[in-house]
Every structure is written in structure tokens, then in C-alpha cells.
Structure 1
């Protein structure tokens, strides 16, 4: 049974992520661990916060079942944590051997809530053992025909990450579109990493696309996603390297406001 962690602050964006996950895994036996960080450990009103959190979680699951219907494949566990936001959720995910964490993207009117921007990215940095799926707020659930994976292949793509891409491709009955950033072309190591990855996903893969960088990497990828009608974008998170360009230095704000498809982030695992 899949273990899926969905943090919630009871905002629309976190509910949308939960709704999307429930629809995405409709036919998979899954336990949804819905976690609300309701206070800190030393909060003098901790018990009151936990009670309020438990009531909110009950209402949330009731709303979800009303919206998506009863599903015998799904089990819901409701957890109220008194801890630091990102560390508490990351520790819970690791302790409970979570297979996937699903979080909602922010919206302009929801900046007061905790699960957005830097806090969401802090979860990406700290949840290092499983993929993280970021779901845009205003997205309608629909079939993903094309799952794009982008890399410059500086590092090898771990076998476990290749398997994760194939898993999502089969789950959604979608084709994987390898999208190569035109860096390291001709570099022997990068070419070896690329070849190994393409061989690993060959039975689910479409034609590889090479992206020349004319207007910055973010704009180039966004244009590709739109032009090719990509339904989900996937990358590997490499701390302090390639992927940092997409989550640091303000660029995350651009992706948060412009990327209109779910964003699957794979952890940096050893090959």
C-alpha cells in the first residue's frame, strides 16, 4: 500500500493538493497521511491547538469524501503535529516511510498561509528520501498525456528515480518526454549519464527534445511546457547545483506564478 503524505494548513491550495492526489491515485491502494502542524512543542496553548487541528482534519476528510466519493482503496490518517513546520513534517515522512509527499502551490491571495514559497521549498530540501509533487492551486484534474523530465545530466539519474518516472508514467498512462538542457553536450560523463537514463526509460519514452537556452532556463522550460502541452514536469533536486537555479534566488517565485502543471521533484539519490 502506498504511503502518501499531504501537509495541510487548511488553505485552498493545500486542499487542492489533497484532492489532486486522491484523484491521481484513485485506483491504487493508498494511505493518505494528512498532517497539520498546529503549534510548536513549547506552545502553552498546545492542547487547545491540537483539539482545533483534530476538528479541522475531521472536516477536511469529510469534505474530500464528499467531493471525490467513498473509495475503498483509500485510507485516511489524520495527524496533528506540535513541532517546527518543515523539520516536523520531514521527520514524520522519514519515520513513516512515506512514498510521496504532495503539497499545494501558493496563490497570490493565500500568502498568509504557511505552505508556500520558501516554506514549501524548505520541505523539498528536507524531505530527501521520497519524491515531492507540487500541485498548482487552480489546476483542474485531468489526464496527463506527456510527462516531461529535464536534466543536463551532470550527475547520473539514479535507478530508483528512473523507476519513479516510469511508475508515474504508467499510473497516468502517459509518455515520458526527455527534455535535455543544452549544457555539457560532448562531455563524456554527461553523455554516459544521458544514455543510461534513456535506456532505462526506453519502453515509456518518446523522442528526446533538446532545448537551446535563448532566454534563460526557466523561460525556455516554461515555453516548452506550453508548446508541447506537457501535463507534468519532473526534475531531480540537486542541492547547490543545477536545480538550485530553479528554487533559489527568487526564481521560485517565477515558477510558482507561471508553471501551470504539477511539478514532480525527485530526491538526489545515489545511483
Structure 2
């Protein structure tokens, strides 16, 4: 099966990190990579902008996108990979939404700059908005300058409060890419589960029977983000899977101020799966 992958780019280093990771992750898979640039005119505090200035700026961005693609192609000799460009004058979220449908996108890759001092958040504003507003396909968030390594250990954080659906298909496909081991992580203050949690755990155990996996229970002595980050470091985890529930772990991750304790946040690629009740 050929994958269709959408990667927004503003030509920054963190966008390149996302592209490089996607290329290496799927080096054995047939893929079409759509490089999306959502263009808007940069005013530089001008009080009056001529149509000539706008047209010139737009053409320069189109050339830059073409050169960007050519440069990636020149560095990637994989015949299984095809690269195409998408130039849009819509806002980023609108451009993503439109092209997810038009090109039947399977996955969306985003780069993140890490902590931004202005926002005091782990993700940049574009990544935050995308995670909040896009739920049609999995999103893979790649830390800036992250060096790819084969996925040997993948963590999946869950509280067992909701039933598992189609997202398990994506999790298992991701695990099978590199014959990884899935480490299911549950962080909780209590040492017992409710009847609903036990039911969901039993269902998960049955569904994971055909892949290598472990179940891990961690006490909630610290913030969940800190507990999971400690687990990632301890187990040498290569990627973290999260399901994008409302009022769940991801909301805490993207909204909490983190400047004071940067080391307590995951620094591995995140696979964020949409949840449809």
C-alpha cells in the first residue's frame, strides 16, 4: 500500500527535521510526500502594500518551495519515494484540511521548535493549532534536529478510561514497521482499576496478542508528563503514542507552561492518533 504523507513547511530547520524523519521512517515503504507551503504576504510593518510587492513575494515563495523539493530529491535516491509540492494562499489549518481530503492523506508530519520562550510552551503555535483542530488522520510531531533511529521500543500512554477502536490498527501497523516492542504505560494514583478500565484493559490485551508488548503501571507521584518522560528515558523509548482525547494528556502537554522544567517533557517523536467516539 502506497502512503500519502502531508508535511507543511515554512522552510525552517524544524520543518526539515520532520521531512527527514518521515523519509527515514518509511524508507522501505512506497510513499508520496506532499510538501505544503501555506503562503501569506509578510508586511514588515508597511502601511501600504502594492500589488507588485504581493505578486513578487508570492512568486519568490513558489520558487523557494520548488527549490526546497529539488534539494530534498537530490539528497534522497529512494525510488520508492515521490515528492510533490502544494502552494496555498489559505491559512495553514485551512490548507491542511483542504489537502487532507483532496489527496487522501494517511499521515501528517509536523516539526516542532521545542520550547518557545515567548509562549512558554513545548510546541510552537502552528503545531498546537494543528493538534487541536485536525482530527482526520494521525499526526507525527518530530522534535527539531531529532536524529532518526530504528524504532525498537515504542511507548503507548493510556488511562484505560475509554474503549479502543480503529486507533489500534494504526498502533499495530506502526509497531510492525520495525518489529518494535510496544510498552503500554498507565500512570495512576490508585493501585486498582474501575470495572470500565478493567474491561478496556482486557480488550487491549486481546488485541495486542500478535505483537511484542509489555504492560507498565506507574504511580502518579509526579505530573503525568514527568512520569512518562522518566519512563521514556529509563526504557530508551524511540517514540511515544498518544490518543487525542478531549481533556486528556495531550491537552496538558501542549498547554502547560514548561520553561521552568523543560527536562520533564518528552523529547522523542509523538504519534498522535485521532479519537472518534
State the TM-score bracket (shorter-chain normalisation).
Answer: 0.7 to 0.9
Deviation at 1:129, TM superposition (A): 1.2
Deviation at 1:95, TM superposition (A): 3.4
- Residue 192 of structure 1 corresponds to 199
- Residue 28 of structure 2 corresponds to 27
Q: Which residue of the other structure, out of 186, 205, 216, is the alignment partner of 1:180?
A: 186
Name the CA shift for 1:111/1:58 in 2 (closer, same or farther; >3 Å): farther
The 2-side partners of 1:49 and 1:260 are apart by 36
The 2-side partners of 1:151 and 1:15 are apart by 30
- Residue 65 of structure 1 corresponds to 73
Report if the CA contact (8 A) 1:105-1:135 is conserved: yes
Contiguous gaps of at least 5 residues in structure 2: 42-48
Report if the CA contact (8 A) 1:8-1:35 is conserved: yes
Deviation at 1:262, TM superposition (A): 0.7
Secondary structure, aligned partner of 1:209 = strand
Aligned length: 263
Between 244-253 and 98-107, report the one with greater CA deviation. 244-253
Which entry has the higher C-alpha Rg, 1 or 2? 2
TM-score, normalised with respect to structure 1: 0.88
The 1-side partners of 2:114 and 2:82 are apart by 29
Instruction: Report whether the alignment pairs 1:133 with 2:140.
Output: yes
Within-5 A mapping of 1:16-55:
16-39=17-40, 46-55=54-63
The 1-side partners of 2:109 and 2:224 are apart by 25
Name the CA shift for 1:254/1:76 in 2 (closer, same or farther; >3 Å): farther
The 2-side partners of 1:101 and 1:210 are apart by 30
Deviation at 1:29, TM superposition (A): 0.9
Name the CA shift for 1:17/1:109 in 2 (closer, same or farther; >3 Å): same
Instruction: Report whether the alignment pairs 1:221 with 2:222.
Output: no
Between 97-106 and 180-189, report the one with greater CA deviation. 180-189
The 1-side partners of 2:262 and 2:275 are apart by 20
The 1-side partners of 2:264 and 2:103 are apart by 32
- Residue 93 of structure 1 corresponds to 100
Report if the CA contact (8 A) 2:160-2:198 is conserved: yes
The 2-side partners of 1:100 and 1:256 are apart by 28
